[in-house]
Amino acid sequence: MTNTHPFNYYLFDYDGTICNTLPTIVYSLQHAFEESGVKIPEEAAILKAVSTGINLHETLRVLHPDAAQVTTADTDVLVKAYRRLYMEHDPRLTVLFDGALTVFQQLKAAGKTVIVLSNKGVAAVEQSLQSHGLHALTDLIMAEGVMPELQLKPKPDTMMYEAVIKKQFNIKDGREVLMTGDTHADILFASNCGIRSCWAAYGYGHPAICEELKPDFTIQGISDILPLTMAF
């Protein structure tokens, strides 16, 4: 699909779209379970959970061997361990996808608004964007824990867009907004918000599920987004 209307607002998912965080996620999840004395989940099970785009609490519940009986207190212990491990090991395990920095630089040079949306905790997202030189190129970061007074719901719920992004940037026309992400949660989020979607097929999402949702664009690398969406 070609773009017939200029995009001025570029929304990006974080995990599996901007950064390859899977090694960090796998390491931190497995060691969090080990520290807590719970059976360590297999890497395949972790990837399956990550591919759905669910948040951390839901991921831990799904991966727990006693998923039906696990309590909020149980997952809270795992969340604390995971976040500590993730923040500690993120600098050495997480890498930018090739071209991500250039994409952000070119979008900003063209006067576009760049927003990062994630179901991950905001501290981890901010640390990673800082370390990879993307933080200064990002106009807004929306992640778990930001604006706690609003109790923002994760994607694919529209709350982050409707309650914050749309109002903060005074967006009047959804055709100006493009959401790029690798899982079906990102594509559904775009559809629910009435904005265009771009599926990052190189990420962690399940191909058949994502293709069935018919995203407006599909890219095989983050650099592909520039010729696809800025050729107007």
The low-confidence residues of the chain, meaning pLDDT below 50, are 232
pLDDT at residue 231, rounded to an integer: 56
> What distances in angstroms separate CA 104 from CA 49, 129, 183, 197, one per listed residue?
28, 11, 21, 18
At 232 the pLDDT is 43
- Tokens found for residue 206: 């399940």
Give pLDDT, residue 229. 77
Q: What is the pLDDT of residues 16-44, one digit of tens each?
A: 999 999 999 999 999 999 999 999 999 99
| One CATH from 2.60.40.10, 3.30.300.30, 3.30.70.20, 3.40.50.1000 for 9-20+95-229 | 3.40.50.1000
- Determine how β-strand 177-181 pairs with β-strand 196-200: parallel
On whether the 22-93 domain is CATH 1.10.150, my answer is: yes
User: What's the pTM?
Assistant: 0.92
Who's near 193: CB < 8 A, 6+ residues apart? 158, 161, 162, 174, 177, 179
- What is the residue extent of each domain of the chain? 9-20+95-229, 22-93
Residue 140: helix, strand or coil by DSSP? strand
First to last CA, the chain: 13
Q: In angstroms, rounded to a whole number, what is the distance separating the alpha carbons of residues 110 and 124?
A: 28
- What is the phi/psi pair of residue 9, to 5°? -125, 115
